[in-house]
A = this chain, B = another copy of it.
Amino acid sequence: MIRVGIVGATGYSGVELIRLLAGHSDVQVAHLYSSSSEGEALANVFPHLHAHPLPPLAKIDAEQMAADNDVIFLATPAGVSTELSPALLENGTKVIDLSGDFRLKNGEDYRSWYKRQPAEAPWLEKAVYGLSEWHAEEIAKADLIANPGCYPTAALLGLLPLAQSGWVNPKSWIVDAKSGVSGAGRGVSLGVHYSELNESIHAYKVGAHQHTPEIEQELSKQTGLQQLIQFTPHLVPMTRGILVTAYGTLESAVSPSQVQELYESVYADKPYVRVRAQGSHPRTKEVYGSNFCDIALHVDERTGRVIVLAVIDNVVKGAAGQAIQNMNLMFGLKETAGLSLVPLFP
């Protein structure tokens, strides 16, 4: 049994790791860690875990944590992982970081978009970007995974095949994304107040969201071309789910079926990417609670654009689910272990 430790179990990604790992037969949730609630039972924080067997919240001590676990998931706010990961790695445990701390290879990008001190360059180099479908081989050899952001997961799975095709102007990408509120985390603020969000939708951080450089970095790296992304996130009155509606200007005449075939070919053997019928309109509900990313392709011949629709559950494929998928790859387990959940519908 692989011994798993989770830091940040009192947040939404942490508690989703627990839900999913409960169905994973090769893994034991050995330890939970919290900076503030040492000794407490997690069921006191999350009553839905009443009677679920779990270790109590333990204090953070990198050396001990490394000794007690084969892999540590860091489901923590920005900055924590920069501090904690090096000590964990030096003491010989693997780390899967769900925060943004190790995603951007260029520390200055991190400083500029996150307004924080980046991790040191050698650690940034060491980190493998954990987009499971695209980097399985590197992930298998990695000790430190930078688990992708929720928006980038949907955007990259949706755009990478087209970006690689060369059919689309690399400066033309527009990613208009819509997210449920759970993406904002469990912290309290007016920004997550029920009465302010319900029956309302709004954009936020137009032109300024920290997931922008992450999407650009990966698209550019995979294509060898500098790709420019206009990224706009929106907050939708729902708890879970991300829909990305992405637009690219076609530079050559491409038929709808060519685009469809491209995606079906690229994702033919990927269990968690479902290329939906040409011209369909996937709903976030259709992947609810599951690790799927559903993608639909539209070519608008009138305007000369391709429109990509991609949906994920932000807490699963956009966070905890993909983290487990990466753990499976790192430990040579079946990629789908613990993740074979049919979406909850309705």
Contact = CB atoms under 8 A, between A and B. Distances in A.
In the A-B complex, list the 10 residue pairs whose CB atoms are closest, starting with the nearest.
A200-B285, A207-B300, A48-B286, A202-B283, A195-B346, A19-B342, A176-B176, A48-B343, A181-B194, A206-B298
A48 B245 contact: no
Interface stretch (A128-136, A149-157, A159-167, A236-244): A236-244
Contact of A238 (B180, B234, B237, B315): B237
Contacts of A23: 23, 340-342
Interface residues of A, number: 83
Interface in A45-60: 46-52
Interface in A97-156: none
Contacts of A342: 18-19, 22-23, 48-49, 52
Nearest to A315: B346
Interface in A252-295: 274, 276, 279-289, 294
A26 interface: no
A238 B200 contact: yes
> Which of A15, A18, A232, A344 counts the most B-chain CB atoms under 10 A from its CB?
A344
Interface of A: 12, 15, 18-19, 22-23, 46-52, 174, 176, 178, 180-182, 184, 186, 188-190, 192-204, 206-207, 228-230, 232, 234, 236-241, 243, 245, 247, 274, 276, 279-289, 294, 298, 300, 302-303, 305, 307, 309, 311, 315, 340-346
Contacts of A52: 342
A282 B47 contact: yes
Given A245-B234, A342-B52, A288 B202 contact: no
Given A18-B342, A23-B23, A47-B294, 5 more contacts: A19-B342, A46-B345, A48-B345, A178-B234, A203-B243
